[in-house]
Structure 1
């Protein structure tokens, strides 16, 4: 009888672990800005899954505020590093303006624009005609996609930073030229994130206009560097309305999946417990 209880407990726990692994999924979010570089509104949108992003099924949305930055300033990138939320804000995007980092302790703080800390990174970091197109943390390092001639035929580059302090001091550990004229005229990169499995970018034609939004997926960082798109998806046209554009794309919750070794060790311990119980009974 006692053995059946132990075996039942073992099955229950393993079933629960299996279910948690099967149903765990990241949640995605975007920052949407009206009148980018102007005095418009900033909104937050959340999606329950990547499929929902592809179908633009917004599970929840929140108006953050109006004229948060001042004229000529725009969101350049947005990421969650498992602890806090970070937003790159760029004045005079594509020009010679300043780049700043704002940090938020919680998602609620981001929605209410309660900045826990801010840091001035630098001025004219890229040169004229160059702008931040995405900001992502992949569990190890921070990555920034930088685009020359956004919406034009310019270059796309990737900068990698070992720590957040390196981002603040713009200490690039490595950089990579991805390519030129990857999107075509009038198209720009508007979001970049890593969801624990793959890298995704959002590409917007006619940013701030009535253009198309597309999602590109890359299996590995090496694929991103070589622009080897594993899959692409057309999300929609005129999703925001005139004068509105994406400002960032990130995962706001981490996937929690038990490691196979953990499950194996746990199951081994339970089986050992059953064997120990049998030996005691025989004795």
Structure 2
């Protein structure tokens, strides 16, 4: 049943006051983005799998570029991935500054390793969000993300074996059924937007009037 805005807001504030958590936004196919502008950093949380990987901000199929983040199985690591030193768990990288609502499109490239295949041989690529149509099965779930709070997003990526869109419990299958090889956390440092000049002038004038009133 639809509730008028005032009743919805009242119920929302009651939940917050009672300490009841409100579910975070989560998605398999929607674009990854923040509602505020600012600098975004990426912290590597997990990296496993038979293949090594290269993680980049890219929206098209193509050659490996720079900057990128090289990834390997931390339990049986490769010394290098295409000549790049693999990232360490907990390592943080700056992705740059983004506008409010600007999509962050990630590309994960598979690189064969001594664990699986011929080391250094490039495999397929998978994408997040609006470039997901380039994935081998565009309807399947190669990516799962959830916003932990307005400035923090947790992302999970799978390279070869996505979760079917018809799965009865895709989140559980993705997170506990071996449905991802890479996980990382995105953190936004919001930009502080200064007040426009008229607002400053209005504020100064108001303070002056208050001071005059007190002296009288």
**TM above 0.5:** no
Provide TM-score, normalisation by structure 1.
0.24
Q: Which has the higher contact order (CA 8 A, sep 6+)?
A: 2
User: How high is the TM-score relative to the length of structure 2?
Assistant: 0.29
